[in-house]
Structures are given as structure tokens and as C-alpha cells.
Structure 1
Amino acid sequence: MKHLGLITLLAILLFGCNAQNTSKNQNINKPSEQPNIVWIVTEDISPTLSFYGDYTAKTPNLDALAKESMIYDNAFAVVGVCAPTRSSIITGMYPTSIGTMHMRTGNDVMSWGKREYQNKEETGRLDLNNEPIPQYSAVIPPHVKCYTEYLRAAGYYCTNNQKTDYQFAAPITAWDENNPKAHWRNTPIGKPFFSVFNINTTHESQLWKNNDLPLTVNPEDVTVPPYLPDNLETRKTIARHYSNVELMDAEVGEFINQLKADGLYENTIIFFYSDHGGPLPRQKREIYDSGLKVPFMVKHPNGNKGRTDELISFVDLAPTMLSLAGIKAPKHLEGQAFLGIYKHNKQRDYVFASSDRFDEFTDRIRAIRTKDFLYLKNDYPEKPKYKDVGYRKNISMMPKFLELKTEGELNKTQEIWFNTKTVEELYDVSKDPHNLNNLAQKSEYNAVLKEMRLQLKDQQEVSPDLGKMFEAEVVETMWPKNEQPITSPVKISQRNQLIHLTNQTDGSSIAYLFSDNPDIKFDYDLNWQLYTSPISNTATHKYLYVVAERIGFKTSDMLKINLKN
């Protein structure tokens, strides 16, 4: 077996050395006043909005929000596609550190997800060793939790409407609500809330699914990036994207109006961002700025307005959220807070990004991005930059683009995407915002190149890179004997009118609910509470139901306790 050292490391990370109950959340410091926080998340947009200087789409709601917000000019996803990036957002860890770097592992995209897999489903996907990859739920290290568990333990009511796409099914302990109806308006009186709303309108798929809708942006008025052919098909596709942006802006306005109607707008922290860069060819899935750089702003009632060039990474979102809530982040988180009482005292020198499998095509690229330069290390330089991903071919401009490639009618700039890679790439992002002029072979940039290599080396020394393993080996380590692990049942004991719940599965979390119904059927949308400390048995209800989950495992059997006995 190859990569034995990494396999051993992954086994330790995923399963730990000793079984222990980790249902109690640590580092909880509940402040006297906790802010309400709303995330409005759109999909597949680069910073091509008016407050970044691109006035093609009319976005009055975002423009109004931007005037009251801090705008971040250097915000980056960790991967140029959604699922690996979302796994980083929810855990505060790099996908390469926890084994979620490949797009996509399973079908856990919406709400609570599929949760269980047989590991026999054919996908047509191969790893770098040409081994077949089934659908699977990623098993991440036992100490890594969804950061919303820490928020819930500190008293927050957490809602998600409704995209998850974490590379694993959302644990029942991560959200109070996780469905199309999830909303801050369901928050119990006296609790602060954290509510996420995901807007799908700008997703890559809407470039073809919205083809029947009228264009509100004229194709003649769009700017065509130099790496795309300038023709009618391209212009219509770009106009469709900007038209989708205008539709998305109206949805943002609805959420803002709801906050205002509820009297919450002035005192609520509002985040707006996209999950990664734009949806066009040579944008989504790419490890260039076109795939990683995103629009990002935060309206904070007590914060600064304006803009900043501070580098932030999506791995920073979890510690930042905890910091805003007055919670000291666990030490294992790989990001750093850029807001709140635990804001990091030193800004980032660089952000790190990765590129591995995208659907049926596998590669391995790592990137370091400073304010001035983008550096890429291609571990498989013999592979072309372009990946013939089937999903992307649904975009209406793609057949013409590929036809022009076949007929040799692309110019040199447009041909770059189809060229074989070099071992290293280096771009001056201010002079070359589209990352087209590779400076790695130019002697005058040797000092910059050396510094970027050292930064990548430093990053990989402090954070494991499980992408160095073949994916089939990663799955085998996550799922011993090729079977998805199962969370053990909850153990229950009662002492002095207190109910104690424990679980022997390392890294598990426990959820419970009270009911008078003697025959509840298990449902993730029931009113499950996160177990953090012994429960008082006041016998106001007849039954207590309990369940345990470990991320990536099958859920434990649900147990019922008769409180009247």
C-alpha cells in the first residue's frame, strides 16, 4: 500500500487514539449580550458588482447594503467550487486537512442530506491512481465539529435555509432548523439567532435553466474576459449571468425588508458573499482569481464602514462567527477571526487554496495568494489546464467554444486554458488580474518565486495535506473494511434527578427531545436539542428520546426513556 505514512496519519485524525465522549462543547463563554447574525449567501459570483466597479448588473439592494458595510477587496474561497469550500466554512478547517477536498463525495447537498451510503454506487469517477471512486460521506477527524454546535451550546438558535453541501450529511446537532422553511422568525423568545439563507439564482446551472427567462442585460453591453472568445454565444451567456445577478439582488432585498419589518435590521450583523468565483468557463473550478476571489461584505451595527484590502479566507469564517458571538474558538481551527472580541492581532500574509478532483476529472494543484501575487504548484504538470467536465458542457456557449478550439480559431490568450501545465505558475495580480501571464520562468521574479515556495512549504508543514493520498485510499481509511461506520447507541444513566447521556463513539455528539408521544418515528426535523450537560428530570413530559451522530457515520439507533417509571 502506497502512502502508508499518510494513511496512518489519516487514521489517527479520523478516529483518534482513544474512544471518548466529546458531546460537551468546550471554550464556551456566553456573553451578556449576543448579537443576531444573518448570512445571505449567493453562488458562483466573482467581484463583478457595482461596489467593485462593475456596473453591468443593476443591484440597488446590494448597493444600499454596501453603503452600510465593510467591503472586503481580498476575500477568497479555499477551492473554486462549492462542496469542498462549504466543508471548510462549516468546520473552520482546510478541506485538505480533513479529507473533503474532492468535488463531490456524495449527494448530501440540501438540508439533512442522504446520510447513508452502500459504497457500491458507480460514479464514473477515478482517482489519480485510476481507482474507481464510489459515492461516500466524508469521515472527518473526531475533534472537528460544525461550528454551529458551539453557537447552539452558547444559546444561539441556528437556522439554515437550506443548502449544506458539506461533503458529509449535516449532523442533527448542527442546526435547530435545516430546511426550506428555516427562518429567524421561528427563534424562541429570548434567544439570539444565527440564520443562513442560500440563494441559488446565480449558480452555474442557472445559465441554462434560466434560458427561457428574458435577459435584463443586453449582450452588447457586457465585457468579455480575454480568455473567452468574443461571439454572440459568449455574450448571451454572460448577459444571462448578469441577468441572474439582478434576480438575486431582488432576493437579497426581500431578506433585508423582512429584517426591517421585524425591527431587526439596525441591530443585526449581516454577511453577504458568494461561495466561490464566477460560473463561466475558466472561472468555476479554477484555482485562479476567477475561481477563488469573491464579493464579500459585512454590515455590523457597531463596526466600521468602507472597504479594506485585508486578506481573508473562507477558513476564517468559523472562528470569526464564534468571535462575534463571544466564544473563544477551539485551538484546532485553522482559520483566524477577522472580527469580534477574539479578532486576530495580525492580518494574513497569504491565503491558501487547493484543487483536486472535480466530478470525473482528478488533478492536484496548490496555491498561495498574497495581496500582490498568485503562486500555483502543479503536481501533475503533464495534465492540461482544461478539464472536460460534463456538467459544464450544459452552458450554452461551451459547444461553440470547443468547436473553435477544434478548428484552431482561438487566439493565443484563449488557447492558454487548453495548454499543458507547467510545474509552477506565478502571476502579478495587479498588472494581470486575469492571471494569464506566467512569470515563473522570468529571472527578475526569482526572489518572489522563492518566497512563495516557502509560504507553501510553511502551510503544508502546519497543516496535513490528505490530497497527497489517492482518494480510494482515503475512502478505505474513512470506511474500514469498505463499510460506512455506525455511531454507537447513547448510554443513559440517572442520578439525583439528573439524566446523564454518554456515547462511546469518538467524536460523536448527542441530541435529545422531550415528548408525550410514546411512538415517535425518527425525523431530523423534530425539535432536537444539543446535549451539553446533564438534563434535569422534572417529569413534565412522559418520554425522552435520544440519538447520537458522528460526522460521516450512520446515525445511532434512537432510544426512548420513560420518565414516569
Structure 2
Amino acid sequence: MSVKILPAIIGLTGIVSTSAHAEIPQQKSNDTHYNILWLSCEDINPGLGCYGATGVKTPNLDRLAAEGIRYTHVYSTVGVCAPSRSSIITGMYPVSIGTQNMRTGPHWAYRPAEKETYETYWGVRDVRGRNVPQYAAVLPEDVRCFPEYLRAAGYFCTNNAKTDYQFNAPITAWDECNHQAHWRNRPDGKPFFSVFNFEVTHESRIWLKKDDPMLADTAAVRIPAYYPDIPVVRKDVSRNYSNIMELDQQIGAFLDSLKKDGLLDKTIIVFWSDHGGPLLRQKRDVGNAGLHVPLIIRFPDKRMAGTVDDRLVSLMDLGPTTLSLVGIKPPAYMQGKPFLGEYAVEKPHEYIFGSADRFDEAVDMRRSVIDGRFVYIRNFYPELPLIFRNKYREQIDMTRDLIEMSRLGELHGDAAYIWKPTKPAEELYDLSTDPDEVHNLAGNPEYEAKLKELRKALSHWQLEVADKGFIPERDLVEMMWPGGIQPVTQPVSFHPDNKSQLVLSSETPGASIAYQSGDSIGTKHWSLYHKPVKMTPGKQIRAVAIRIGYRQSGETTFMVPEK
């Protein structure tokens, strides 16, 4: 396998920042004091009743859509969870910040600093066949987890509980980040931003729940053209829809609890999936099937209820949009575009860009451009097959059976399309006539203009974001962790001013700071430092610093002198 490297784009540094805390502009929006609730699920395309799916009933999500805005052209940046979630939490393309490979380490949930450890060998190799150890991606120094900006603006921010950001969630990102995290734990009078992740639709539930009662109508579910319509395929496709119906029940119960708490008319609700479907040619794919997701947003006053919005939206836009909804101007470094609120952009995305690189033990490099109708894919290793071997997904019955059928030459027509031993260098699909992306138009002269347009858009984008997929992963790790050693954030220094306030800083560029004071010392809650701390005579202040991807600093303390 040859390795393609683009020297002009291998830099890892971002916009230089010397600030010791997140700077928050004045809030302007009328929605400033609304709560924000994210209901995120895993691994589904828009396979809901309100999107026209057959064989599945989703009355609770359908009602949410009827009372809110249903977005039809929403896409993840990557067709798998960890790179996609890194994009969502930062508002950045994974390929621009070095989080594009699935996955970098055991980052499924927050780990306290003392439990943040990494294996030097776990069976992963880069495109040159070199060992890739576990690591935490080191991001450009200006990049923060966007909830820090909400915390600095007075929001109580909770995440229950999955993180999977490609780095350990910094202690500064959330007020609470665990399975007990909840808006009900907020101090009186504080607005909240809460995230709850529903796992019932995850890929693994296809096999873990295969003996559960079937809720979907197996005869009515649609089988994509890239599968043969045989019993094992219909069973597993139906299980996916059955899990979606179970998800709908869980969402309904959750909305009932929000109403019971008297918060339904005070909370903006956002429902989304982290990437497309869980099955072959869906999860881990870079086309429409891998990236297309549902998005529903409901306002407390039901504004725009029943609206269908067909603008191109990236999941990378969710963070900037949340900031915009509460009147916070998204930082200039963010590549995501706010599409609602005070700072909504006038011009939506012209294109959606996707990426696919290493997935567990399998390496590849693919990029895509989607304009809402056409899908363009560039395969940088066309000598590799589209369907690569992956131990994790081969726990699904239909996956194992289809691999064997392909080996025996028993797949034909469209069902054989995804099983070719190599890939074309370029792919082009027209979703209006080919929703399953099985008829490649890249060699059709009638579509030459569209092919050139999307090819050019991809090249410009890769240069603009400095696509780090061209860097072999072992070299990328070395750039982030020189010598294979995780950098350590420098400790916090304390600087009393002449206003009875304490200024906190760290010598590590891009570090965020968390602190405890008075009675909070020794508890699990750490406040985000974003402005000088008032000094109370005789009280102690304890602080730590953390830059994303670095090891957290040790604790330092300051005792405020008695007067």
C-alpha cells in the first residue's frame, strides 16, 4: 500500500491563544435563559415515521417533529461515533484537529486524572504497518469543549454519560459528567444545558437484542438495494427498526419527566444521532448511508412548529448553534456554522464534507462531498476493498453470512456492488434516482461537470482545513506526544490583584483551569475559571489546569490571608 503525504498541510498548531480562560461576549438573545436539552442516540439514519420510514412506528419523535423543526439534510462528519463526537464537542472537522482515526484510546467516558492510562500496544497499526499506541489527541491550543463557554455564561452543564471525544473529557467541560448527571442537580435559579445519550440503537444491540421481541413490521421494512432480500438480512434490518421503536418509547418517557418537572415550556429540545445506520455500508461509510442523520429541534413556544428545513447542516454545527441560541457568539476558530439564534449565518453550507480513515484494525482513507443531491467520494487507497474485515461488526449475523456469500460468489446485481475487491478512485451518486448509492456515475460524460465541481470543492476543503489524514497515524501521535510521552499541563499559579481578587493562570498555552474554594474543596464539583476569583480571608482555593490531550496538572492551593 502506498502512502500519500501532503507536506503543506501537516502542521498541528492552531490559532495561538494566551488567555487563561474562555472569554464570553455579552449575551443578546431573547432565548438567553431557556434551558437546552440534547437527546442524542446512536447509529441511525432518518429511519423514523416522520421521515417516511416504513415498518416502524415512532409516535413520540413524530410528535416532537410536529411541534418543532424537522431537518432533512443533516450529516455527521464521520460515519462512526468517536471521530463524529470529537467534531460535535469542538465544532471542528476531525481531520483538521487530528481526531479522524477510530479510535484513539479508551475515551468512552470521563476518567479522573489518576485513572487516565494508555496501552502502548493494542493491535492497531498505521498505513505503514507501524504500531499505533493508545493516545489522547492533542488539539490546537485555542480549541475548547464548547460547554465551557456555556458554563462561563452561567449555565449548569451536564453529560449523561458517553463522551468518546478521542481525548479524555477535561474536568472543565462539564459540571457533571457521569451516569448520575442530571438537570435536577443544578443550583436553584440556574439554566441548564443537559445531554442524555440513548444507546439502544447502537450497532452492538443488533446482536445483543436479537432474541428480544420484534417491534417492527418485518414485512414492511425497506431493504436497501446493496443487500440481498434474504431472511437473515430482513431479520437484522428489522432489528434495527425495532430498536428505533424502543428508542422512541424511551424518548417519550423522558419527555414526560421533563413535563412533570415543569420544564417542557422552558427548554429547547434537540434530538440527533451521532452518525448514520449501524449495518454494513452504513456505519463507517463516508457516503449518504454513513453520514445522513435525523435532527429535530423543538422550542418551548413551539415556534416554527411542523416546519421542514432542507438546508445542509453538519452535526459540527450543533455546538455553535447552541451557543448562538443563548446569545453567545461562537468563537472564530470554530468551523461549524450556527443555523439558529442570534448569530445564525445567512449562508448555509454549500457542501457537506465527510471523512473515513482507520477503523479499529482496518486502515483506509476516503473523503466525500455531499450537496444534498449528489455524493462524491474520493478513494485514496482504491486498491483496498470497500467492505473491510472488522471483528466488532462481524458479530452481526447478516454480516458474517454476507461475507461468506460473497466469498462463494452467491451475490449478484446491486447486492454484489459493495463486495468488489477494489474501489474506483472516484465515485459519484445521484440520490434523486439512486438513494442507495449503487450506480457510480463518475465515468458518465453526462455528469462530468458535477464530478469536476465536487472534485474541486474537495481539494479546496482539504487544503483549507489542513487534512491530517495524509499523515500516517504513528507520525501524528509523535507530533502530539513527542517520544510517545503524553505532555503534562503546567500547574496553576495564583496572582492576587489590588481588588481583593485572585487571577489564575497556567504556562501551558490553551490550558483551561478548574478550581474549588471554601466548602466545595474535596467535593466532586469543580468550577470553571473564567474571571478573577473573589478572595475571602481565611479561605483556601485549590486549582488544576488542563489542555485537551495533555495530562492534567497537579493540584495547587492558595490560602487567602486573614485580614
Deviation string 1:66-97 (CA, Å, 9 cap, x unpaired) is 11011011000000001000000000100000
Amino acid at match of 1:166: Y
Report the CA distance shift for 1:116/1:480 in structure 2 as closer, same or farther (over 3 A): farther
Match of 2:510 among 503, 507, 512: 507
Amino acid at match of 2:489: T
Q: Distance in 2 between matches of 1:176 and 1:21?
A: 24
Percent identity reads 45
Report the CA distance shift for 1:446/1:4 in structure 2 as closer, same or farther (over 3 A): closer
User: Are the counterparts in 2 of residues 543 and 561 from structure 1 also a CA contact under 8 Å?
Assistant: yes
Give the deviation of 1:255 after TM superposition.
1.6
Match status 1:563 vs 2:560: yes
Give the deviation of 1:397 after TM superposition.
1.6
Give the deviation of 1:494 after TM superposition.
1.9
Task: Look up the match of 1:379.
Answer: 380
Give the deviation of 1:334 after TM superposition.
0.6
User: Are the counterparts in 1 of residues 49 and 62 from structure 2 also a CA contact under 8 Å?
Assistant: yes
Deviation string 1:482-512 (CA, Å, 9 cap, x unpaired) is 1000111111122332111110001100000
Give the deviation of 1:301 after TM superposition.
3.1
Task: Look up the match of 1:474.
Answer: 476
Task: Look up the match of 1:38.
Answer: 37
Deviates more, 1:239-248 or 1:466-475: 239-248
Question: Which SS does the other structure have where 2:397 is aligned?
Answer: coil
Amino acid at match of 2:560: L
Report the CA distance shift for 1:408/1:5 in structure 2 as closer, same or farther (over 3 A): closer
Match of 1:527 among 525, 531, 534: 525
Match status 1:97 vs 2:96: yes
Match status 1:136 vs 2:147: no
User: Are the counterparts in 2 of residues 117 and 135 from structure 1 also a CA contact under 8 Å?
Assistant: no
Task: Look up the match of 1:29.
Answer: 26
Give the deviation of 1:120 after TM superposition.
4.8
Q: Distance in 1 between matches of 2:512 and 2:471?
A: 28
Q: Distance in 1 between matches of 2:158 and 2:323?
A: 16
Give the deviation of 1:114 after TM superposition.
7.5
Compute the TM-score of the two structures, normalised by the length of structure 1: 0.94
Task: Look up the match of 1:180.
Answer: 179
Match status 1:217 vs 2:219: no
Report the CA distance shift for 1:383/1:326 in structure 2 as closer, same or farther (over 3 A): same
Task: Look up the match of 2:228.
Answer: 229
Give the deviation of 1:62 after TM superposition.
0.8
Q: Distance in 1 between matches of 2:554 and 2:167?
A: 19
Question: Which SS does the other structure have where 2:100 is aligned?
Answer: coil
Match of 2:495 among 493, 496, 502: 493
User: Are the counterparts in 1 of residues 78 and 84 from structure 2 also a CA contact under 8 Å?
Assistant: yes
Compute the TM-score of the two structures, normalised by the length of structure 2: 0.94
Question: Which SS does the other structure have where 2:378 is aligned?
Answer: strand
In the TM superposition, what are the counterparts of 1:134-213 in structure 2 within 5 Å?
134-213=133-212
Q: Distance in 2 between matches of 1:114 and 1:430?
A: 50
Q: Distance in 2 between matches of 1:559 and 1:348?
A: 45
Q: Distance in 1 between matches of 2:121 and 2:330?
A: 39
Q: Distance in 1 between matches of 2:8 and 2:394?
A: 36
Give the deviation of 1:63 after TM superposition.
1.3
Q: CA RMSD in A?
A: 2.0
Give the deviation of 1:564 after TM superposition.
5.0
Give the deviation of 1:516 after TM superposition.
4.4
Report the CA distance shift for 1:2/1:406 in structure 2 as closer, same or farther (over 3 A): closer
In the TM superposition, what are the counterparts of 1:117-516 in structure 2 within 5 Å?
120-302=119-301, 303-305=303-305, 306-419=307-420, 420-496=422-498, 497-516=500-519
Deviates more, 1:380-389 or 1:104-113: 104-113
Amino acid at match of 1:470: P
Give the deviation of 1:277 after TM superposition.
0.6
Give the deviation of 1:228 after TM superposition.
1.3
Give the deviation of 1:128 after TM superposition.
1.2
Q: Distance in 2 between matches of 1:495 and 1:430?
A: 64
Amino acid at match of 2:529: Y
Give the deviation of 1:30 after TM superposition.
2.7
Question: Which SS does the other structure have where 1:426 is aligned?
Answer: strand
Give the deviation of 1:317 after TM superposition.
1.3
Q: Which runs of 5+ in 2 are unaligned?
A: none
User: Are the counterparts in 1 of residues 54 and 221 from structure 2 also a CA contact under 8 Å?
Assistant: no
Q: Distance in 1 between matches of 2:11 and 2:59?
A: 50
Q: Which runs of 5+ in 1 are unaligned?
A: none
Question: Which SS does the other structure have where 2:544 is aligned?
Answer: strand
Q: Distance in 1 between matches of 2:447 and 2:114?
A: 49
Deviation string 1:190-227 (CA, Å, 9 cap, x unpaired) is 22111100000000001111123221224333322121
Report the CA distance shift for 1:385/1:456 in structure 2 as closer, same or farther (over 3 A): same
Give the deviation of 1:241 after TM superposition.
1.3
How many aligned residue pairs are there? 554
Question: Which SS does the other structure have where 1:352 is aligned?
Answer: strand
Q: Distance in 1 between matches of 2:281 and 2:6?
A: 35
Give the deviation of 1:110 after TM superposition.
1.6
Report the CA distance shift for 1:327/1:517 in structure 2 as closer, same or farther (over 3 A): closer
Give the deviation of 1:117 after TM superposition.
6.1
Give the deviation of 1:26 after TM superposition.
2.4
User: Are the counterparts in 2 of residues 378 and 421 from structure 1 also a CA contact under 8 Å?
Assistant: yes
Report the CA distance shift for 1:160/1:517 in structure 2 as closer, same or farther (over 3 A): closer
Give the deviation of 1:5 after TM superposition.
3.7
Match of 2:541 among 535, 544, 554: 544
Q: Distance in 2 between matches of 1:193 and 1:117?
A: 28
